[in-house]
Amino acid sequence: MSNSHDHNTMNLSLNNVNVGYKRKPVITNINLPTVIPGSLVAVIGSNAVGKSTLLKSLAGQLKYEGDILFHGHSLSAMTHRQRMERIGYLPQTLPQATTLIAYELVYSACRAGCEQLTNSEVEERIEAIFERLGIRDLALMKMQEMSGGQRQMIGLAQVLVRQTNLLLLDEPTSALDLHWQLNVLQTIREETHANNAIAFVASHDLNLSLRFCDQLLILANGKVLAMGSPEQVLTPENLRNAYGIEGRIESCSKGFPIVLTDRACA
């Protein structure tokens, strides 16, 4: 990250971004301080607050007003191919349970998403990502024989295999058990830092976000409630405003901050 300021074309910024569905505004007037490369940002907030909407607009899948600048380019001015080269988006829905085998799913993501790779490059990437996520034994299984959590892992492999600069992951651990939650977030963190990428991870798990993410972006009422380091922004007041709960942030015996929730506000 030391050289990131020299590469000020590699960052992401949002100015006055508005997004809505059929005139019903979901996100209003969002401004984000510039996100520098090598940042893992957790997007948190209550249900229907616009987390997915924000990620979808960053992915170029929703029309928005305002400016989203990535690599110094306006997202809306990028060609389809440019977007594909830069952005990897994991939707909330799991890959379908079909007779496709996992290897083919990831292969098709490479072939449909980054056409310029040679066969051996694709094979190397797939090998590496299955190894990295620890799901080598799933590679030749049919999707319909897998559990929801296993399919979620394959979906994640589909995104990570493309090695994009911007990762937009919508609840990537929603179907995973504790072991895989830790494994996945650890992997995302390492990949993001190693590749000097930017990752936005929408999540409901505050403790995981605290533990793994560099920054938290808290949304409330379609606006940014707070953004900054977890220690700065995760306060009882913000918890109350974002979720309507009474909560505390304490230190565990190992010194990590943890969120304790007491009750829902009346």
Partner 1 sequence: MNTAININSETSSLASLYRGFVFKRQLLLLLLLLAVALCFLFDISNGPANLSLWQVIKGLFNPDSLASSTRVIIWDVRMPYALMAVVVGACLGLGGAEMQTVLNNPLASPFTLGVGSAATLGASVVIALDLSGLGISYTYLLPLSAFVFASGASLLILMLSRSLGASAQTVLLFGIALMFGLNAIVGLLQFIVDAGALQQIVFWTMGSLARASMEKVAIVGCIFVLCFIFSIKQIWSLTALRSGEQQALSLGINVERLRLTVLLRVSLLTAVALAFVGEIGFIGLIGPHIARMLLGEDHRFFLPGSAIAGALLLSLSSIATKTLLPGVIIPVGIVTALVGIPLFISLIFRRAHEQ
Q: Which residues contact 33 (CB under 8 A, 6 or more apart)?
A: 13, 227
Burial class of residue 254, CB neighbours in 10 A (0-12, 13-18, 19+)? exposed
Binding letters toward partner 1, positions 150-169, x by CB under 8 A: -----x--xxxx-x------
Task: Tell me how far, at minimum, the Cβ of 248 lies from partner 1, in Å.
Answer: 37
Verify binding: residue 94, partner 1, rule CB under 8 A.
yes
Task: Tell me how far, at minimum, the Cβ of 204 lies from partner 1, in Å.
Answer: 19
- Which segment (19-27, 90-98, 176-184, 228-236) binds partner 1 by CB under 8 A? 90-98
Residues 173-212 that bind partner 1 (CB under 8 A): 191, 194-195
Q: Which of 3, 74, 98, 261 binds partner 1 (CB under 8 A)?
A: 98
Angle at 80 between CA 78 and CA 86, to 5 degrees: 70
Other Cβ atoms closer than 10 A to 36 = 18
Alpha helices in the chain (DSSP H): 51-58, 80-86, 102-113, 119-133, 148-160, 178-194, 206-212, 230-233, 236-243
Verify binding: residue 38, partner 1, rule CB under 8 A.
no
Query: Regarding beta strands 73-74 and 24-35, do their DSSP bridges make them parallel or antiparallel, or are they unpaired?
Result: unpaired
Verify binding: residue 131, partner 1, rule CB under 8 A.
yes
DSSP assignment letter at 95: P
Please work out the total of residues on this chain that contact partner 1, with binding judged by CB under 8 A: 51
Verify binding: residue 84, partner 1, rule CB under 8 A.
yes
Rank residues 17 and 101 by Cβ distance to partner 1 and give the closer one. Answer: 101
- Which segment (68-76, 139-147, 249-257, 258-266) binds partner 1 by CB under 8 A? 139-147
Verify binding: residue 143, partner 1, rule CB under 8 A.
yes
Task: Tell me how far, at minimum, the Cβ of 79 lies from partner 1, in Å.
Answer: 10
**Cα–Cα dist 242/226, whole Å:** 10
Q: Which of 109, 185, 198, 202 binds partner 1 (CB under 8 A)?
A: 109
Q: What share of the chain is helix, strand, coil (3-state, %, to 5)?
A: 40, 30, 30
Verify binding: residue 125, partner 1, rule CB under 8 A.
yes
Q: Which of 5, 7, 63, 136 binds partner 1 (CB under 8 A)?
A: 136
Q: Which residues contact 53 (CB under 8 A, 6 or more apart)?
A: 19, 21, 26, 27, 62
Backbone angles phi, psi at 235, to 5 degrees: -120, 160
Kindly list the residues in this chain that would bind partner 1 in the complex (CB under 8 A).
59, 61, 80, 83-84, 88-96, 98-101, 103-105, 107-109, 111-113, 123-132, 136, 139-140, 142-143, 155, 158-161, 163, 191, 194-195
